[in-house]
Amino acid sequence: MLPVDPTKKLSFTRSISDGDLVIVYEKYDTMKAVKVCAGSVLENRFGLFKHSDWIGKQFGSKVFSSKGGFVYLLAPTPELWTLVLSHRTQILYIADISFVIMFLELVPGCLVLESGTGSGSLTTSLARAVAPKGHVYTFDFHEQRAVSARFVYGFAFQNMKTFSLEYELREFGLNWFLFDSVSPFVYKLKTIRSAAHETSEEDFEKTGLSNVITVGVRDIQGEGFPDEFSGRADSVFLDLPQPWLAIPSAAKMLKQDGVLCSFSPCIEQVQRASETMRSSFTDIRTFEILLRTYEVREWKLDDFQGDEAGSVGSHPRKRRQRSSEGSNAQETTGSPTVMARPCSETRGHTGYLTFARLKCLS
C-alpha cells in the first residue's frame, strides 16, 4: 500500500513485524490474508508454518515449513487485496479497476465520490490513487455492508504508512479470510460469521478510521449525494442498479470538466444511463474490458516438428532448409523453448464502463 503520511518514504523492503497483515502466496491460484501473531501457526497442505519465523523477514520472502514445503509472504497491495477480500457483493477486478482509475484521471489529492461500496475492491485502489492528500467518500444504502467496510478500512488504511493492513478480525469472531480455490484467481469464501453485525459502531471506531476513506450509509439513488460536496468532486463513480437516478446529483457534485463513470452489467442499463447523461455531460463513451491471460511453459521443438511432418499442407522445402542448417540446428532441436499460448479458460463479461465528462459552462 502507498503510505498515507507524505513524510514517509515508499519502501517495499520493510521487514514483517508482529501484528502485520501478509498475503500468504501458496500457488498461483491460492492466496490467503493472514495476520502475523507471535505464537500462532499457519497449517496448510505444505506443512506447518510458525508466525514467529516470519517476523523480521522482508516482504516477498520465501519461508519453509517443518516438512520442507514453502510459501511466499507478500505485501498487501490493492491488487492482492482484491483477490483475497470478503465478497459481500460482486466485485470489480483488476482489469476494470485499472481502466476506471485511468479514465477518471485520478492523481494524488483528488476528491472522489463513490456510490455502491459493496465489498470495497475498487475503493481500496481509489484510495491508493488519491493518497496521501486526497480522499474517497463512499456510500452504500446497505447499513451492514457499510459498517463492515468501515471496519475493514479502519484497520486496512490506518497503517498504510507502514504497508500493513493491521486489524484483528478474530477478536470480533470473524473468519473472513479463509478461502478455497475454485479456478485461477477465483476464490470462494468458506466461513463467514455474523458477529460483525452484532458489534457496535463504537467498537469499529476504536480501530482508528483512515484519513483516506470515509464510509457513509445513504441511498444515493433516492437522496443523491450530500450537498456539502457540491462542485467539489474531481470524479464520481456509480455502481448502482438504476444509475440514471443518481446522475443528476453526480453532475452537481463534480467540478467543471470532472469525470463520471457508471458500471453496469446490462446493456439496457447503459442505454438508459447514457440518455440521462446527455443533458449535463459530453464525450460519453462505453467500454467492455475483457482480460486475456497467457500460459507460459517450456516445450521441445522436436514435438512441434513431429506434428508439422504429419500435418496436411506442410512445406517440405522449409523442412529441408532447417535440416540443412548443420550441427547448430541439431544441438538446439532437443532443447526446451519457452512458449506462450492463450489460456483456455478466461474470465468473461463483468460489466460495461460508461464514462462522461461534465459540460463546461458556456
121 annotated as ligand-binding? yes
Q: Are residues 23 and 126 in the same domain?
A: no
Residue 341 lies in a domain: no
Q: Are residues 158 and 203 in the same domain?
A: yes
Q: What is the structure's pLDDT at 2?
A: 45
Q: Are residues 47 and 111 in the same domain?
A: no
Q: Are residues 71 and 209 in the same domain?
A: no
Distance between CA 47 and CA 61 in Å, rounded? 17
Distance between CA 329 and CA 271 in Å, rounded? 59
Residue 9 lies in a domain: no
Structural domains of the chain, count: 2
Q: What is the structure's pLDDT at 85?
A: 77
Q: Domain limits at 116?
A: 80-162+198-291+349-358
Q: What is the structure's pLDDT at 144?
A: 54
Q: The domain spanning residue 62 has which CATH number?
A: 3.10.330.20
Q: Are residues 353 and 230 in the same domain?
A: yes
Cell of 279: 443533458
Residue 120 lies in a domain: yes
Q: The domain spanning residue 230 has which CATH number?
A: 3.40.50.150
Give Cα 44 to chain centroid, integer Å: 24
Tell whether pTM > 0.85.
no
pLDDT tens digits, 299-354: 877 655 555 554 444 455 555 555 455 555 555 556 788 989 888 777 778 899 99
Distance between CA 107 and CA 307 in Å, rounded? 52
280 annotated as ligand-binding? no
Residue 325 lies in a domain: no
Q: Any idea what DSSP says for residue 142?
A: -
Residue 90 lies in a domain: yes
Distance between CA 2 and CA 89 in Å, rounded? 25
Q: Are residues 218 and 94 in the same domain?
A: yes
Q: Are residues 101 and 246 in the same domain?
A: yes
Are 22 and 75 within 8 A, CB to CB? yes
Instruction: Tell me: cis bond preceding 78? Omega within 30 of 0 counts.
Output: no
Residue 180 lies in a domain: no
Q: Please say which residue of 60, 75, 90 terminates a domain.
A: 75
Q: Are residues 65 and 99 in the same domain?
A: no
20 annotated as ligand-binding? no
Q: Please say which residue of 56, 75, 94 terminates a domain.
A: 75
Low-confidence ranges of the chain (pLDDT < 50): 1-4, 6-10, 145-146, 149, 151, 154-209, 310-314, 323
Reported as half-sphere exposure (CB side, CA atoms, 13 A), residue 194 has a value of 1
Q: What is the structure's pLDDT at 302?
A: 65
